[in-house]
C-alpha cells in the first residue's frame, strides 16, 4: 500500500491536495485503488486547457480520498503530458493502458489527440472520458465508439448554439478565422454547408496553425471582405488573442464572436484592450457562478489553483462521470465493468446545465443547454 500512496501523492501535486490524501481514512488506503490515467496537454498550445483539467481532477481526487474513497477504494492518478501532439497522445495512451494498467483515462485535451489515442484504449478495453467536442470522437461510426464518452456538448451542438447567437442580429455577411485541425475544419465545413439554409454568405474563411503568433495577413483578408460578423473557431487562447489583436490593428470593424474554447482568463489577458466587446458562448462563468460552481471555485482556490476558464469544468465532468460509474461497482474496476456502468449513468455531479445520460447507444450525454452567452467587459466575462 505504501507504493500506492506514494504514487498518488506524486501525481496530486498541490500542497493542499497532498495534505488531503495524507489524511485519507485508513479504510480508503487498504483497498485496491481506482487508477485513472490523465492524458492531458500540460505543454504546447493546449496547455491552458490541460493544466486546469489536471489541477481540477487532482483536487477532486484528493477530496474523494479524504472522504474515504469510492466505497473504500482510493483514487490513484497517473499523469502523462501529451504535449499537444497526437503522436505523443497515442504513445501516452499505450503507456497508461498497457504499462501503468489504469482502469480509465481522461483525455486527450485536444480532439486530434483523442482520435489518435482512442483506438489503443479500445484495444486495451480501457474506457475514455474525452474532454473535447470534436464530433468524430464519439461518432458511432468509429470502431472505438464503445469505449469513448464525451465530457461536454459536442461541436455540433456548440456550433448550433454559437451560430444562433452570432446571427440573431440578422447578419448576412459572415467571415471565419479557424485553426488548422479537426476542430477548426469542422466549423469551416459547417458554415459552407449551412450558409444557404441559414441565409448568410461566407465572404471569407481563413486559417492558421495552432501555434501561429502573427495572423495579421489573415485578419487583413477578412477585413477586406467586409463581413458583418466574424467567427473565431480556435481552442488555443494565444491563437485567438493573436487574431483579436490583429483585427484591431488592421481596422477590422465587425462584431466578433469566439467559440467557448476561448472562454478562459488567459484569452482575456492575452487579448488586452482588443478583447473588449468580443462575444462568446461558454459552459460556465466564474464571474457569475451558481452556488455549486462557487463551491467548486472555493475548493480549487483552497488547493492553490484558482479557476481560470472551462478546463476545470471539463476535468471535473470527466472525473465525476468515472466516479459515478465506479460507485455502481463492488470494486470491479475492470474496463468492461466500468464501460457498462458508464452506459447506465445519469446521476453525475456537474457544475453546468445540460447533462442527460449516457447509454449503450449514446455516449454524448450532453445537450446544448450548457451553453451561455457572454461578452468581455472590463477584463471579465459578463452577461450580455
Residue 222 sits in a domain whose CATH number is 3.40.50.2300
Q: Do 341 and 219 fall within a single domain?
A: no
pLDDT of amino acid 7: 37
Sign, CA dihedral 318-322-323-325, equals positive
Q: Please provide the average confidence, as pLDDT, over all residues in the chain.
A: 90
Q: Identify whether 382 is part of a domain.
A: no
| Residues of the chain above pLDDT 70, percent | 92
Q: 141 and 128 in one domain? A: yes
Is residue 379, in this structure, part of any structural domain at all?
no
Q: Domain boundary at 282, 312, 344, which? A: 282
Confidence band, pLDDT 50/70/90 cuts, at residue 155: confident
Does 334 lie in the same domain as 265? no
* Whole-number Å distance between alpha carbons of 116 and 253: 39
**Does residue 199 sit in the same domain as residue 229?**
yes
Q: How far apart are CA 310 and CA 305, in angstroms?
A: 13
Q: State the Cα angle at 185 between 180 and 189, rounded to 5°.
A: 155
In a domain? residue 380: no
Would you say residue 103 lies in a domain? yes
Residue where a domain stops, chosen among 233, 261, 282 = 282
Q: Is residue 187 part of a domain?
A: yes
| Residue 146 within any structural domain of the chain | yes
Q: Do 335 and 312 belong to one domain?
A: yes
Q: For residue 11, how far is the Cα from the chain centroid?
A: 20
Percent pLDDT > 90 in the chain is 71
Please report which helix (H) or strand (E) contains residue 36, including its range.
strand 34-40
Indicate the pTM of the whole model: 0.81
Domain span holding position 315: 2-153+290-368
> Does residue 87 form part of some domain?
yes
Own/partner pairs, 292-298, CB within 8 angstroms, 24+ separation: 292/351, 293/351, 293/352, 296/351
Burial 69-95 (b: 16+ CB within 10 A, else e): bbeebbbbbbbbbbbbbbebbbbbbbe
Q: How far apart are CA 239 and CA 59, in angstroms?
A: 29
Residue appearing with cell numbers 500500500: 1
278 and 295 housed in the same domain:
no
375 belongs to a structural domain: no
Nearest to 104 by CA among 265, 345, 269: 345
Amino acid at each position: 500500500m505504501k507504493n500506492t500512496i506514494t504514487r498518488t501523492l506524486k501525481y496530486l501535486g498541490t500542497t493542499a491536495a497532498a495534505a488531503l490524501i495524507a489524511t485519507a481514512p485508513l479504510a480508503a488506503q487498504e483497498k485496491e485503488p481506482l487508477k485513472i490515467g490523465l492524458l492531458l496537454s500540460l505543454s504546447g498550445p493546449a496547455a491552458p486547457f490541460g493544466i486546469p483539467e489536471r489541477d481540477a481532477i487532482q483536487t477532486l481526487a484528493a477530496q474523494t480520498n479524504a472522504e474515504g474513497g469510492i466505497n473504500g477504494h482510493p483514487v490513484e492518478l497517473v499523469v502523462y503530458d501529451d504535449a499537444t501532439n497526437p503522436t505523443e497522445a497515442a504513445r501516452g495512451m499505450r503507456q497508461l493502458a498497457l504499462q501503468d494498467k489504469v482502469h480509465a483515462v481522461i483525455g486527450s485535451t485536444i480532439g486530434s489527440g483523442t482520435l489518435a489515442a482512442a483506438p489503443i484504449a479500445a484495444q486495451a478495453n480501457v474506457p475514455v472520458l474525452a474532454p473535447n467536442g470534436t464530433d468524430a470522437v464519439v461518432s458511432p461510426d468509429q470502431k472505438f465508439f464503445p469505449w469513448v464518452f464525451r465530457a461536454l456538448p459536442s461541436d455540433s451542438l456548440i456550433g448550433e448554439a454559437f451560430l444562433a447567437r452570432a446571427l440573431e442580429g440578422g447578419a448576412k455577411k459572415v467571415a471565419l478565422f479557424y485553426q488548422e485541425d479537426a476542430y477548426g475544419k469542422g466549423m469551416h465545413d459547417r458554415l459552407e454547408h449551412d450558409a444557404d439554409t441559414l441565409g448568410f454568405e461566407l465572404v471569407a474563411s481563413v486559417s492558421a496553425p495552432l501555434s501561429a503568433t502573427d495572423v495579421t495577413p489573415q485578419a487583413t483578408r477578412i477585413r477586406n471582405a467586409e463581413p458583418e460578423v466574424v467567427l473565431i473557431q480556435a481552442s488555443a487562447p494565444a491563437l485567438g488573442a493573436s487574431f483579436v489583436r490583429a483585427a484591431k490593428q488592421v481596422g477590422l470593424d465587425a462584431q466578433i464572436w469566439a467559440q467557448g474554447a476561448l472562454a478562459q482568463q488567459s484569452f482575456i489577458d492575452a487579448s488586452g484592450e482588443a478583447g473588449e466587446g468580443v462575444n462568446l458562448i461558454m459552459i460556465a462563468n466564474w464571474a457569475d457562478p451558481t452556488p455549486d460552481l462557487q463551491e467548486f471555485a472555493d475548493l480549487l482556490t483552497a488547493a492553490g489553483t484558482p479557476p481560470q476558464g472551462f478546463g476545470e469544468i471539463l476535468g471535473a465532468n470527466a472525473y465525476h462521470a468515472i466516479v459515478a460509474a465506479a460507485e455502481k461497482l463492488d470494486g470491479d474496476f475492470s474496463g468492461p465493468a466500468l464501460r457498462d456502468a458508464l452506459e447506465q449513468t445519469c446521476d453525475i455531479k456537474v457544475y453546468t446545465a445540460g447533462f442527460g445520460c449516457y447509454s449503450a447507444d449514446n455516449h454524448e450525454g450532453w445537450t446544448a443547454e450548457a451553453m451561455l452567452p457572454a461578452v468581455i467587459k472590463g477584463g471579465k466575462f459578463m452577461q450580455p
